[in-house]
Structure 1
Amino acid sequence: MKQGHVEDKRHLRSLITRQKLLEAAREVFLEVGFQKATISQMIKKANIGYGTAYVHFEGKEDLLIVLMEDVMQRFYKIAETSFRPKSRQEAEEIIYTQVKSFLLMAEAEQDMMQIFEQAIGISSLVSDKWKTIREKFIQRISQDIAYAQQSGLARAELDHEIVARSWFFTNEMYLWEFVRKEHHRSVEEIAKTITSIYVTGLYI
């Protein structure tokens, strides 16, 4: 058997093991919550060896961070929607669609997002990861605002980074409200209201 073929098989086995462990971790987190979850429970559920598991992940925080990145990548696809509006009205329509999709995603991913929130409050590693994710969103929003300013659609005197930060924090607050089931309004109503306030303040 050729060396390359052996390495390919080893690599495939490694990927399958990693995926089994991630799936088991997700199940354990959802069953018992972040605090009570242990990597031993995950290894047992995945039916793999201890040594093999620790080749891939140092502990439950590492596993949760990978699961968080996977979920938040789906949120980030919404933020990456092409933003090249020709008018204030077109900008408002794109922004409303983004906000609505963002909040609907929070509803759809409610169970795992509850685990992420628990972990952010307990683990400095997970909290730091969330800050990194947050900054990625803010940078993307900042680019969109800068584009609108350069196009003469938005008020040029406003600092696009400050505006982006305040806009993300507004969305993030509602995201966690949906995750905690604390909202008393529909996604559409919230998205429409906060988009209207944002666009009125920023756009000419």
Structure 2
Amino acid sequence: MTNKEEVQDKRHLRSIKTKQKLLQAAREIFLTEGFQKATISQIIKKAEVGYGTAYVHFSGKEEILIVLMDHVMEKFYQIAEVSFSPSSKEEAHDIILSQAMDFLKMAETERNMLQLFEQSIGISSSISAKWNSIREKFIQRISEDIAYAQKYGLAKAELNHKLVARGWFYTNEMYLWEIVRNEQQGTVEEIAKTITAVYTGGLYQMNE
């Protein structure tokens, strides 16, 4: 490695560390102050970095929160990305139930950050747009799973897989926010089993 490459490598590492310091500081400030009251100045001070350096990485608090949203929602998306290649309706049901359970349990685990996201979605148009893009990413993945099940004769072929996917995600999202607000009726297990039974019963004709 040349001296020039070593210098570039050190700068890159410093840049990564600075960005991580800003994200960690922002997380703490957001959870303490709330999105609306939190300021970029508070975040920069907490992170102990220079103003000029901070603005190299982020244009403001909204951009920082969007990155934090990506970090948290990636955990949810890993659940959606579980391999879906069932050979029977029963197997499809079990995979979907497991995903619904894990998705809603993650809502419990990430309750504080999700409360922050819900608050910011109602305040910031850019955060709201970000949530919509996250939603569409999930719907697209679910749609692919439904199309797979239809292709192999497990699910009703006459149903529009994109519309079904949208309905299934919205159902999960509704319960996610109820869990985040501590407003849910019943346990996570009961909710997951109930919505999975209704969903698969209609799409997969589980009663046959």
2: CA distance, partners of 1:37 / 1:114: 15
- Matched with 1:29 is 30
- Matched with 1:77 is 78
- Matched with 2:158 is 157
- Matched with 1:185 is 186
- Matched with 2:135 is 134
Counting matched residue pairs gives 204
Instruction: Determine if the alignment matches structure 1 residue 112 to structure 2 residue 129.
Output: no
1: CA distance, partners of 2:12 / 2:204: 52
1: CA distance, partners of 2:56 / 2:125: 22
2: CA distance, partners of 1:54 / 1:63: 11
Deviation per CA, 1:38-83: give whole Å up to 9, x if none: 0100000001100000000000000000000000000000000111
2: CA distance, partners of 1:9 / 1:193: 53
Deviation per CA, 1:120-146: give whole Å up to 9, x if none: 111000000000000000000000000
TM-score between the two structures when normalised by the length of structure 1: 0.99
Deviation per CA, 1:100-139: give whole Å up to 9, x if none: 0000000000000000001111100000000000000000
After the TM superposition, which residues 1-204 of structure 1 pair with which residues of structure 2 at under 5 Å, given as runs?
Answer: 2-204=3-205
Higher helix share: 1
1: CA distance, partners of 2:186 / 2:59: 41
Report the residue type matching 2:95 in the other structure. Answer: I
2: CA distance, partners of 1:184 / 1:86: 33
Q: Give the percent of matched residue pairs that are identical in Structure 1 and Structure 2.
A: 67
Gaps of 5+ in 1: none
TM-score between the two structures when normalised by the length of structure 2: 0.97
Q: Give 3-state SS (helix, strand or coil) of 1:83's partner.
A: coil
Gaps of 5+ in 2: none
Q: CA deviation at 1:184?
A: 2.6
Deviation per CA, 1:151-192: give whole Å up to 9, x if none: 101000000000000000000000000111111310100000
1: CA distance, partners of 2:12 / 2:30: 27
